[in-house]
Amino acid sequence: MARTRWLGCTLIACLALAVPVAAQAPRSSDPLAPTGAWSANVRGQAATPPMGWSSWNAFETAIDEDKVLGTARALVSTGLAKLGYRYVNIDDGWWAKRRLSDGRLQIRTDKFPSAAVGGAEGTSFRPLTDRLHAMGLKAGIYTDIGRNSCSQSYSVDTTHLPRGTVKEREIGLAGHVERDIPLFFREWGFDYLKVDACGTDETSQQAWQARRADFAAYPPMIVRDSVNRSDIAGLKAAYQAVADAIAHARPNGDHVLSLCAWGAANVRSWGKDVGNLVRTSNDITPVWGRMLHTFDSAAGRPLYGHPGAWNDPDMLFIGHGDFDARHLTEARSHFALWAVTNAPLLIGYDMRDAPRSLLDIWGNADLVRANQDPGGHQAVIAYASDDVQIFVKTLAGTDRKVVAIFNRGTGPANVKLMAEHLKFAPDAPIALRDLWSKERTAPFTGMRTIAVAPRETVVFEATGTRALATGHYLSELPGRVNVAADGVVAPQADPTIHRAMDPWAGTISGGSRPVYAGWGGAQADQAPYGETIRLAGIEHRTGIGVLANSRLEVRNDREYRRFSARVGVDDNTTNPAAEVEFLVYADRRLVARSPRMRFGQPPATLTADIGSARIVELVVRQRNDLGRPTTTAWADAALLR
């Protein structure tokens, strides 16, 4: 992955120096108390979303050394490595067993012959990672937070699975974090770790029982269809222990930690504080509807992803099924949507024989640059329907935006792109450059109609005059916002995610119902439950919708000098009797406070001099507990110079 340099250091390293992390913040039992700190994860090498290749979508467990090295050579020879595709990740299928004499993991030397080093080690991946590093690449490995891996739960073919006794086949991290993490990072030289969660999953336990497989029972932490029955605190603690062990094993911070809990156990709310990548859904498959499902799980969470911790809708499936070389419209849409959502760009194809048409998609330098933009602002939904969506992404340090217009349907659509969607001035010219064709269109003012074919995503770089000339609306800068507390009391599944038919159970189950917690969290340019922000009958197209009893951390980095917003209780609140108060802090100093407000009252205007603050915190406190969430808004919230 290309490291973004900023003032002589990586962005994340500089951020860590400039902003106190959560461990340095004053301790308080009140989650709404200002800390003056950025509590989201800043450890690791993920200033921009990681890019590279992963073996699973290409080979599943049938991975071997020739395939890994062949892929590495292809990344270099095609120029993709130079573009940023640097991680070469070995997924499930590499292990032979756990050696009982000392607990050391052993590698399948029939698949990875260079690992047969002999001696006390028995096997080692160091010869392979050394070869990858010599090619200018990074190396990744896979494990599970429980005792056993996902392939041990679900693979019909056991050819590539660990062999031996029950204990020898327990190759996951449970009970072995202090041994396995130094092995992966210090001894074997890996740079990236994906940690799956099948070993702690109730569904996997049931799969073992149904197959009468010989595995030791493990108390499940994840119940996929019930966030209330999941052990959220236990799962978070298990992943935190891994993160801490990696920080100790790699004190230089050159690592990536990918959390793969599939959006379960309310990982939306805490994963960003622990890892660098946070899976937001179950696995992708090369089917259009499944791609919609995984994409939707991440696309509605722009305030939960930022430099150091990214939403992850799973690996790319370009080259297979509905996204193969015969379906280039779908393949381009898949790539463009991942790019503007700041998803990791991890190719899942046999790169040793990749056609030019697919290489041109992965190699679209303009879309890669958008994905790797140092601002880290995930695209925000400017317009949404079941047919068409418009996503707008702010590029750092410029007046340029990237806008993606996605036709989800089966018929052509004529989409009216407005200056308002882009937060550009309606009376100033707007120029568009197509990031697929590279063509520039004649400038327009106000609005332009764009034809979008079925399943197509057109992507433009847009240049214009900002509607807010003296600063930015906060919803333009989601990469600067961390939702430290979102006011969600009882996590609920998000009903807006596309309900694709289950690729494993099909129609045998009771239906593909929403299971991923995230409904009611903080939202950019809409209310928490998807409505337009409305305060006392007045519609606001920009702002942050959030529940009461919430705290947002805003990384100001001494760049802006004032904050302004219109605040109040949203018209669609389910708790109209609640009384709330809005507070603004600059480096823990209270700089603005609203009167106590209730449903139906006109919004209050808050303005604050934030001076040279590093961290601005926006707090909404509910003053009377009525047992239901209160929908509120920081409408027109802006950072001003």
Residues annotated as part of the active site = 196, 283
CA distance 203 to 488: 26
CA distance 519 to 161: 38
Pairing of strands 138-144, 87-89: parallel
CB 531 within 8 A of CB 603: no
Structure tokens belonging to residue 39 = 């509590």
DSSP per-residue codes, 91-138 = -SS-EEEE-TTT--EEE-TTT-GGG--BTTTB--SHHHHHHHHHTT-E
CA distance 87 to 75: 10
Q: Read off the amino acid at residue 248.
A: H
CB burial of 584-594 (b: ≥16 within 10 Å; e: otherwise) equals bbbbeeebbeb
DSSP per-residue codes, 437-506 = T-PBPPPBSSEEEEEE-TT-EEEEEEE--BSSTTEEEGGG-GGGEEEEEE--SS-EE-TTS--PPBTTTB
In this structure, which long-range contacts are made by residues 352-358, counting pairs with CB atoms below 8 Å and at least 24 apart in sequence? 352/67, 352/70, 352/71, 352/74, 354/74, 354/78, 354/319, 355/325, 357/325, 357/328, 358/318, 358/319, 358/325, 358/331
392 has which bridge partners? 380, 403
Q: Which secondary structure element, helix H or strand E, spans residue 248, and what is its range?
A: helix 232-249
